[in-house]
Amino acid sequence: MKRLLISIVLLFSLSQAQDSVLFIVPAEISGGGATVGNNWADGVKLAAEHINAAGGILGAQVVTEVLDTQTDPPTSKAVIAKGLEKNPFAVIGPVYSGSTIVNMVEAERAKTPQWVGSEAASITQQGNQFIFRTSSGQNGSIPKVTKFMKDEGINSVVIIYVNNEFGQGGRAAAVENFGNLGIDVKLELSTEQQQADFTPEVLQAIMVGADAIFAYVNEEESARLLIALQQQGVTIPVFGEAVLLSQVVLDLAGDAANGVAGHVNLTAEAPVPAVQEFRAAFEAKYGYTPDHNAMKGYIAMFVAKEMAERVGSFDKLAVAEQLHCSLITTEDEPGVLMDIAYDENGDIDRDTFLISIQDGKQVVTGVLPRLKNTCADQ
């Protein structure tokens, strides 16, 4: 009788496990990174809704549990460790590189795949077989923007970066690539998060007389920097990456953002039908325009779905192994929005975009096709 009862309980548990699949979503819901974290979490939740509406993954309904990292690396490590006790299928997040660097060891220890929005180069260079990006890291995207600057005739530059993991990684990658291209880095200026006044950096940039400014700071600070540049009448071109060109910065900086140019991995302005459909669904649900982080969160969920379906189960180890050197096309899974290839480290290769800001709006000036240089293409 006792054995029968245990068998019934076990069977009931197994059937429950097949009914739903848990994703934990560590994100910067509060603290200084809340703008990006909430975009990311909203993108993930929208993806879960779409997946569930289409029948779930392998018949199981997706359950997401958002965990607030408070934009604090130690807290992110703690919430992921606690979340992993529930044996989720995957960890989807966080975005801030400073957090990912310290928390990715938890998912690795639990042999659970982790998709992150972080871009610091070092994340995928540590041999962690369970970490996966959702957009190019700095080592993939910075070479594109520096090449673009060289093509625009820039020969000298001032780098203004934020003094955190994200900014330091971007600065290092930029210095290396500018060096390779023969662009003279005249000055590197460190700034702080929540910095109020950028006049000192702007005056330094004027004084050294470079051809351009390469800005690599967080969202709100990017807006303040652009306003300070406008106030000081700086006319030299300003280049940057996804953050500088993001919708948040455009909303905050107003006409001070006009003329800024650069390269982005993802943009809601991308001339791609699937991206426009995603954007419309996101705006209808949340009432604001998604930024690249929302798109990354959305894509992460569909990559996880596709891999579970390829493996045929929620075997986490098999999914992580399978994803390395894999190509996922939009024919395989439309939710990935654009074809995406993973290399052996968890870095990705995907079409990217050249952007310039005109009349306060992102205008796509060019599409850089996928490099097709990963092991997935060989």
Partner 1 sequence: MQLQFFVQLLVSGIATGAIYALMAVGFALLWQTSGTINFAQGEFIMVSSFIILWLMGLLHIGLVPAFFLAMFISMFIFGFLFKRILVDPLLKYGDVPLIIATIGLGMIIRELTRIFWGANALPFPSLVKNKILIFGGLRVGTADLVTIAVAIVIIAALQLFLNKTFVGRSMEATAQNQDVARILGINVDRMILYTFLINAFLVTSAALLVTPKLLAKFSSGETFGLIAFMAAIIGGFNQVRGALIGGFLIGIIDNLAKFYLARVHLPFTDITLNLSPYALAIPLLLLIGVILFKPEGIFGRKEERSI
Q: Which range of residues in 15-23, 47-55, 86-94, 216-224 is near partner 1 by CB under 8 A?
A: 216-224
Q: Which range of residues in 32-40, 113-121, 258-266, 269-277 is near partner 1 by CB under 8 A?
A: 32-40
Q: Is residue 289 at the binding interface for partner 1, with CB under 8 A as the rule?
A: no
Smallest gap from residue 331 Cβ to partner 1 (A) = 35
Residue 38 or 146 having the CB closest to partner 1: 38
- How far apart CA 273 and CA 280 sit, in angstroms, is 11
Residue 194 or 373 having the CB closest to partner 1: 194
Smallest gap from residue 73 Cβ to partner 1 (A) = 16
- How far apart CA 106 and CA 91 sit, in angstroms, is 10
Give the residues across from 235 on adjacent strands. none
Determine which residue in the list 26, 32, 93, 143 makes contact with partner 1, applying CB under 8 A: 32
Q: What are phi and psi of 159, to 5 degrees?
A: -100, 125
- How far apart CA 173 and CA 121 sit, in angstroms, is 8
Smallest gap from residue 232 Cβ to partner 1 (A) = 6
Determine which residue in the list 196, 235, 331, 378 makes contact with partner 1, applying CB under 8 A: 196
Q: How far is CA 181 from the centre of its chain?
A: 26
Cβ-in-10-Å burial (0-12, 13-18, 19+) of 284 comes to exposed
Q: Is residue 288 at the binding interface for partner 1, with CB under 8 A as the rule?
A: yes
Q: Is residue 232 at the binding interface for partner 1, with CB under 8 A as the rule?
A: yes
Smallest gap from residue 32 Cβ to partner 1 (A) = 5
Q: How far is CA 306 from CA 43, 286, 317, 322, 335, in A?
A: 17, 25, 15, 11, 9
Residues 169-188 within binding reach of partner 1 (CB under 8 A): 187-188
Q: Is residue 125 at the binding interface for partner 1, with CB under 8 A as the rule?
A: no
Determine which residue in the list 122, 163, 322, 330 makes contact with partner 1, applying CB under 8 A: 163
Q: Is residue 224 at the binding interface for partner 1, with CB under 8 A as the rule?
A: yes
Site string for partner 1, 343-362 (x = CB under 8 A): --------------------
- How far apart CA 355 and CA 148 sit, in angstroms, is 11
Residue 37 or 143 having the CB closest to partner 1: 37
- How far apart CA 368 and CA 347 sit, in angstroms, is 17
Unique residue bearing structure tokens 């639990």 = 110
Determine which residue in the list 26, 37, 83, 113 makes contact with partner 1, applying CB under 8 A: 37
Smallest gap from residue 368 Cβ to partner 1 (A) = 29
Number of residues that bind partner 1 (CB under 8 A): 36
**Beta strand pairing status for 114-116 and 131-133?**
parallel
- How far apart CA 355 and CA 348 sit, in angstroms, is 20
DSSP of 104-129 = HHHHHHTT--EEE----GGGGGS--T
Site string for partner 1, 241-270 (x = CB under 8 A): -------x--xx-x----------------
- How far apart CA 64 and CA 93 sit, in angstroms, is 12
Residues in the chain: 378
Choose among 21, 62, 68: nearest CA to 45. Answer: 62
Q: Is residue 30 at the binding interface for partner 1, with CB under 8 A as the rule?
A: yes
- How far apart CA 344 and CA 348 sit, in angstroms, is 9
Max CA separation in the chain (angstroms): 86
Residue 35 or 114 having the CB closest to partner 1: 35
| Residue ranges in contact with partner 1 by CB under 8 A | 29-32, 34-35, 37-38, 163, 187-192, 194, 196-197, 199-201, 203-204, 207, 219-220, 223-224, 231-233, 248, 251-252, 254, 288
